[in-house]
Amino acid sequence: MPQRIPALAITAYTATSAVGHGTSALAQALKDRRSGLTPNDFTTTALACWIGRVEGVEAVAIPPQWAHWDCRNNRLAWLGLHQDGLRDACTDLLRRHGARRVALVLGTSTASIGATEAGYRTLDAQGAFAPAFRDPMLHTPHSLAAFVQAVLGTRGPVATVATACSSSAKVFAQAERLIRLGWADAAIVGGVDTLCDSVLFGFNALQLVSPDPCRPFDAARSGISIGEAAGFAILERADAAPSAPRLIGWGESSDAHHMSSPHPEGLGARLAITDALARAGLGTEQVDYVNMHGTATPANDAVEAAVVAAMFPATTRASSTKGWTGHALGAAGIVEAVATLTAMREGFVPGSLHCTHPDRACGPQLALGNETRDIQVALSNSFGFGGNNAALLFGQGDPA
């Protein structure tokens, strides 16, 4: 069983998704129960589905000194960095700790693969990429972290985490280890993933894309709605900000079961949740709210619903927020972490959007409508392809 860890202060956080730019837009959409999902108008060939497309990405202009990084993913990263004062907070962070003592850990599933698609669609007469697509780094999974590192000027450890849908939840765990083991004094964490044909048609080929807006945990759910998003957070030792919300625990596990299906009894999910609670020194009865992974696929939701129903008391509230943003894949972890922190800050549980008749596997914890609630401790689940699981535990203060 893991040992307790010192809590970390979350001194800044932001998310940009289909419901808007920054946490104020996210909070308002959650309160108004206004989804950001719209009919697909993105793919180069028609595909009948709904998507979570971020407004304004196409209009972003990357400054000339970083123009070789220009792609949809890095434009969304740029947009996300400029919400909620995040970039200024990062500048101040580097001034206080020194650039070499600030780590950067970012998650993504496809990074700038959309630029690679565009490169192959616009080959010149010699079969070469057009000049805009010739930087090899643009086509690597590390494109996002390298771009953000260049923009922010960090010089500490930098890492890309690519574990599918758990990517930008696992960044919190990696950053906590870097700080606790003395490799860094603070960390900037986050994740960005953008829409592209590879993702939309790839998931459609797996028969996982719904023709309708996703309905997490509804008995009649028919699959995911893919979205795009960017989110970031700053982690520092607790004494840096006594009143800031806390990362109080994390858990990671691997199902070692199947490439795309979860363990049928949720073994990996249970291990991740149990480890997160152990690192915080808390029991399930002390968790007020669970932000579930809740993709709206038949298999994933049934397993997660059964796990939450079995592990938590009826007083714990639980929901999925993907009905608002869609499934942002490698950015889902950070967006849902920020949604959880926003719900804690605003004092309400966002009930599962588009769910009207819950799956019979769901327990009494599932919230369908919004509920006013003082949330002192909250859990955010992220369960990805390949059985990559992460659970993050947040608190309003240090655990007793």
214: annotated active-site residue: no
Which residue among the candidates 49, 71, 90, 165 is catalytic per the annotation?
A: 165
CB 290 within 8 A of CB 317: yes
- Token digits for 264? 């049928």
- In sequence order, what DSSP letters do the residues of 45-111 get, joined into one string? S----EEEPPTTTTT----GGGGGG-SHHHHHHHHHHTSTTHHHHHHHHHHHH-GGGEEEEEE-SST
Fill in the amino acid letter for 158: V
Q: Which residue(s) pair with 159 in the sheet?
A: 105
Q: Could you tell me how far CA 92 lies from the centroid of its own chain?
A: 24
293: annotated active-site residue: yes
Which residue among the candidates 21, 97, 263, 327 is catalytic per the annotation?
A: 327
CA–CA distance, 310 with 284 (Å, rounded to integer): 11
Which residue among the candidates 21, 97, 263, 293 is catalytic per the annotation?
A: 293
CA–CA distance, 283 with 275 (Å, rounded to integer): 11
CA–CA distance, 156 with 48 (Å, rounded to integer): 44
Tell the residue number behind the tokens 């806390």, with chain if given.
Answer: 246
CB 300 within 8 A of CB 24: no
- CA-CA distances (angstroms) from residue 347 to 32, 264, 280, 309? 14, 34, 22, 23
CB 13 within 8 A of CB 232: yes
97: annotated active-site residue: no
| Active site residues per annotation | 165, 293, 327
